[in-house]
Amino acid sequence: MGNFSELDMYLFGQATHYDIYKKMGAHVQTKDGIEGVYFDVWAPHAAAVAVIGEFNGWNETSHMMERLVEPDMGIYELFVPEAKPGQLYKFLIYTPDGGKLYKADPYAAMAEVRPGTASRIVAPFSYAWQDDNWMKERRKQENFWEQPMSIYEVHPGSWKKHPTAENDGFYSYRQLAESLADYVCDMGYTHVELMGISEYPYDGSWGYQVTGYYAPTSRYGSPEDFMYLIDYLHQRGIGVILDWVPAHFPKDAHGLADFDGQPLYEYADPRKGEHPEWGTKIFDYGKNEVKNFLIGSALMWIEQYHIDGLRVDAVASMLYLDYGKEPGQWVPNQFGGNENLEAVEFFRHINTLIRGRNKGVVMVAEESTAWPKVTGDVEDGGLNFSYKWNMGWMHDFLDYMKLDPYFRKDNHSKMTFAMSYNEYERYILVLSHDEVVHLKCSMLSKMPGLEGDKFKNLKAGYTFMMGHPGKKLLFMGQDFGQIQEWSEERELDWYLLDNPNHSHLSTFVKDLLHIYKKYPAMYEQDVSWAGFEWINANDSYRGIFSFVRKSKNGKNDLLFVCNFTPVAYDDYRVGVLNQRKHKLILNSEDAKYGGTDTKRQVSYTPKRQECDGREYSIGYPLPAYGVAVFVF
């Protein structure tokens, strides 16, 4: 009996071999008392397959693999006693037309550091996890959407650069752990979202053109080093979300494209199997072995590496057959529509499976269209994601914030429109890396006005974002006012924190994040009007928004007032819901945020004075571009 049994092949053919990564690839095992490595690869169109590597001097004929023929699914296997952990290897695919393809292992647990393209044999993992308490608590999260979630999106290679030039200036996973956890805890984020972890060849793709779906990138260390990072973050109370890219893959010669000389992982018809806009291949979601490959990858990150959620990239490109394509470049489905029915089934399968097997794990869709019920139940025709990125909110918000304040009055609805569809999905409000690259400017640089006004605008914008229903995501650097656009080639401009404007902004965002975590009104009822009420959504002329966030028990509700114009009001009146005292807990004009207030009245008792259609109101000195948050 070899490594890959008939049962393994049956499950693989049904797309239900959920531990496929424990069988495919390279695995150190003992056979007949001899320790070596079993190699397994799926290459049904190949004429023959050899495994080559450091254990045989890359000899192309000495280690020919056996094709398993009961049943014949195109799986090749070989036990190699000479192979040892740490050695590099590849699969040499002999094609029927006499060609040779030198392929990295699709299931490799580790790859050679780029620009090398070989896979690396990894010893069985012996890492001793210390995050039992975190994992137990995660499994208890039945109603995860009622918990706080403020996500810090991080590209590890450019968050900070190591002061020495070794390893391209990258911090290792282990080196990153403490400093990243310290920063995230201090600022008050609940989660980090890591970009560019699955192995990829080109730094400039940021990790979105993957060649190793089962391998943490070797840029920052080994798989066990990556485990240490996740474990350490968990021990510090920080959740970890991973970017995962099942939408497409690159055409690099060592990768998945035309793996065995013909389309295998991709659709055979180029009208379905290629993204003309991106120059990449599209997975064949109708092929069970391909679905199993992707499902196994997702489960491995969650179950072997303890990842708390996957943010699925480019979901819209998977759902629509004509995404990014001109007429003639795509094929309609069997009913004549543009929906990829196989991708729909894939999402329903994987989301139901992952969330069923791993309570508390979240699946997040980066989906940019109006596709219905992305977070809806499968029984109701939904895709069963946990959350959807609210791209509509993001575009409207940025369109408004970039405007000169004079013109904001004509665009007031851009800030209120998202509430009209808020109940349709479970949303995450995002200001991600995509919004601060490629001539889009940093968040600070998008703001109108001179330097001081830019910072005030940004504080007002972040306050509105944190108060608005939906979980939150902010890309690294934007919480202290990064000026340059982000580039993967350099670290963030941390020196800016020596500038008072930037340090004041950082302190402001930090206080916002801690308020968010402290008050259940900010997150308990994100998807219901029971958790939100406009006080005045129509004050377009003055550019002021006021609203209330409500907790389930009615205690410690929050009143938000946000002024998006440079006009100050000595006694701005705002309607309130009841006669309770309102305590000021955030004031953008506070001296610690760079304002002029050193002492401001904290407690405000509502008067019976009609305002905003309310019987009671409070008066408050509202500064230019000022924001205030009251608890009552």
CA distance 471 to 380: 24
Does residue 594 carry a pLDDT above 70?
Answer: yes
Structural element, H or E, at residue 216: strand 212-216
**Which residue type, as a one-letter code, is found at position 617?**
S
Q: In the predicted model, what is the mean pLDDT of residues 406-411?
A: 96
Tokens of 279: 């120059």
Where residue 229 falls among pLDDT bands split at 50, 70, 90?
very high
Could you read off the pLDDT of 507-547 as tens digits, one per residue?
Answer: 999 999 999 999 999 999 999 999 999 999 999 999 999 99
Residue 628, token pair as written in the block? 């205030």
Residue 314, pLDDT > 60, answer yes
Work out the average pLDDT over 369-397: 97
Tokens of 252: 């690099």
- Opening angle at CA 56, ends 50 and 60, nearest 5: 35
Q: Tens digits of per-residue pLDDT, 326-345?
A: 999 999 999 999 999 999 99
pTM of model > 0.85: yes
Residue 576, H or E segment: strand 569-576
Tell me the two tokens of residue 34: 């001899």
Q: What is the CATH number of domain 529-631?
A: 2.60.40.1180
Share of the chain above pLDDT 70, in %: 100
Residue type, 26: A
Sheet holding 72-80, edge to edge: 25-31, 34-42, 72-80, 66-69
Same fold, 6-120 and 529-631: yes
Q: Which CATH superfamily is domain 149-246+286-518 in?
A: Glycosidases (3.20.20.80)
CB of 115 closer than 8 Å to CB of 201:
yes
Q: Would you call 344 exposed, middle or buried from its count of C-beta atoms within 10 A (0-12, 13-18, 19+)?
A: middle
Domain 6-120: give its CATH superfamily. Immunoglobulins (2.60.40.10)
Phi, psi at 29, each rounded to 5°: -145, 170
Q: Give the pLDDT confidence of 282-312 residue by residue, as tens digits.
A: 999 999 999 999 999 999 999 999 999 999 9
Q: What is the pLDDT of residue 556?
A: 95
The rounded distance, in Å, linking the Cα atoms of 43 and 622 is 68
Ordered by start, the domain boundaries in the chain are 6-120, 149-246+286-518, 529-631
Active site residues: 313, 366
Q: How far is CA 557 from the centre of its chain?
A: 30
- pLDDT for the residue 247: 97
Max CA separation in the chain (angstroms): 91
Angstrom distance (rounded) from CA 10 to CA 292? 12
Phi, psi of 452 (to 5 degrees): -60, -40
Mean pLDDT over the full length of the chain: 96
